[in-house]
Each structure stands twice: as structure tokens, then as C-alpha cells.
Amino acid sequence: MHLHRSNQTKILRRYGASLCKYCGTPVEWFQRYDALRIPLTNEFPSSRVPANLRWHINRGVAYPGTDASNGYCRIPHPAICPAADHPDLPPSVQDLVRRLGVRMRAAIERGEFVPFVEPAEPVAEEEVESPGPEEAREVRHVVGYHSLLRIGPCAIEDLQCIARDEPTGQRCEQGVADLSEGRWERVDINQDQAAGRLGQMVLELTGGSIWVWHLPDFNISLRWWNQRCHDHFNSPQPDHTENEFVPFHPLRHDAFVLTERPTGYDLTAQDTPLVIHEGPGERTKCAGASCTNTSVLTLEEGWLCWQCEKLLRRRRAVHRRWGQSTEAP
């Protein structure tokens, strides 16, 4: 994916699409003319929108006003978010807020959306965003599958299964980590998440990339992110505690970013034995005329490969049809 050379913004649209955490309405984030960012709705006819709510996009940058080329504009989402009160809106825009509110309540009733609730008391950001294990850990590793990154509560070798053990009713004591299922790799940091002065400091410290435990298969990544051991991965047993993995964010988790490759996680020669193959043994040759196909299996004399078997069935069918057509009435 490339940005056009005439585009003034560096935000890819795939990273600009998002959902409002308070009402679940789809929004698009754009860079403003003053280098800030703003969430906008889709386009509406400008004639039905107050002048102070009109915004338009020019070469990827948001500006106040109407797009003169088509007479349409966008509305800042906070101005019409149904999760907030808007007593001074005109009837046309108030009707839009009402429709968004009906959609929000329907999504909540169906269980498709859970609105974000601000904590009643000031709580440390790390406690809200990253539920940790029973004790504080100084090392927390990031587990990734391609561009999806999640940070665990501890180092990967200390990950504990969260399933409920059926005989005891307690938390499973087995580990989650299996060193044969992944490897350490460098991945690029999402620069859209590393905005501001702190983001620049993180990028300068890490060089724009970090070390994560990369999982090559999606099913394997599900087992890790569900925090289940091999015995409880497909088990119907419920979780004993909440999942301790959270989405990785370079600013909230800057203290746990790895700039050097961890050591001691490579499999030894005993863990990965070298197997020497002596090559195939004697092969069984197809009994078909002028056929060179063979099989490594030990088969009885007169064996035919699938191609010769198909040709033989076709010939027998032709012979049966000719034999029936030449019979006397």
C-alpha cells in the first residue's frame, strides 16, 4: 500500500477507521490543518448541517467548511455522539443523534457492543489497561501473530494456564509456553500509535522496531492469547481467572519494550534431533503397459496406478456399451 505523492497526510485509511468507544458508531480519524487529529463521520448534505459543524477533506487533511466540489461535508463525531447530551442542536441534527442512539441501544441489547465507562476514582493507567498477574512482574513479553501484538502479564516462560482444573476446582498449574511453536523476531512499531513527544522518544529508543515472540500459525496464536495449556486448549472447562493478555500499545507499555533479542530461548540440539533419511526403499512398479509410475508401498503383483485404473474402467465401460448394442433384438 502506497500513499499518493500529492497527499499531505501520512495516515493510511486502514489505520484511520475506528469505532467510538462510547457508542460504537464507525468514525474516521483525519489529520487536521493544525497537525491535530479529529474523528469525523461520513458525508452529509451541507444544507442540513449547521455551519459550525461542517468539515471537509482536502488531500487527506480535514478543514472546517464545506467541500465546494460536491456540496457535502462531514460532522465531528463528538458533536453528535449519542452517549452525550446535545441540547442545542437543530432538529435535523438532533434526529440524526436519535437514530444513532437507537442503533447503539440495539447493539448493546444484542451483546455486540459494550460501552466504555470511565472509572469512578482515579486509578493508575497500568491497572486499568493491563490486568496483571497476582504479583507484579518487571518483565512482560509481547506475543505476536504478524501485525497483531498482545502483551502478557509476565515473561513467556512464566505464563500460567487460566483454565479451571476439573478435579480440584482451582487454576490449572501447567504452563502455556511451548518454545517449539515460535521464535523471537523484530517487528515494526505502529507509528500512528506513537504520536507526540513520548512517541518520538520511544521510536528513537527502539529504532522503530521491537523484539516479540512471533507465532507462525493462527491456531497456535489462539492458544497463547486464550492463555490455555495444551490439555485445556479445546477443553470446555471455563476460565478460573480473567485473561491477562491485553493489546500492546507502545506508549502505555514503553517500560516493557525489548530493544535486544532475549537469550536462552533457543532449542538445543537435544530438543531438535537431526534425522538422517536413507532414501526410499524398493518401489512397486505399475503393471500398466508403458507406464512408469511407482509406489513406495508394498503392493500385490498386478497393481495399477490411479491413471491406469481410470483408463481401464473407461475401456470396460466402452466394451459393455458396444456389447449391448450388438446383441440381437
pLDDT in tens, 290-308: 888 888 777 888 889 988 9
Residue 243's pLDDT band (cuts 50, 70, 90): confident
Distance CA 179, CA 74 (A): 50
Indicate the Cα dihedral angle 169, 173, 176, 179, nearest 10°: -160
Total-model pTM: 0.42
| CB-based burial label for 116 (10 Å; 0-12, 13-18, 19+) | exposed
Mean pLDDT of all residues in 4-26: 76
Q: At CA 186, angle to CA 181 and CA 188, rounded to 5? A: 125
Domain ranges of the chain: 13-109, 127-256, 282-310
Beta strands in the chain (DSSP E): 17-19, 26-32, 37-40, 44-45, 55-58, 61-64, 72-73, 142-145, 148-151, 183-188, 209-214, 246-247, 284-285, 294-295
Q: What is the tens place of the pLDDT at every residue in 71-130?
A: 899 999 988 999 888 877 888 888 899 999 999 999 988 888 888 876 655 544 444 444
pLDDT of residue 136: 43
Q: What is the tens place of the pLDDT at every residue in 17-70?
A: 888 988 999 999 888 887 788 899 988 888 888 888 899 988 888 888 888 778
Residue 198 vs residues 253, 255, 305: alpha-carbon distances, Å: 12, 12, 67
Residue 131 has pLDDT above 90, yes or no: no
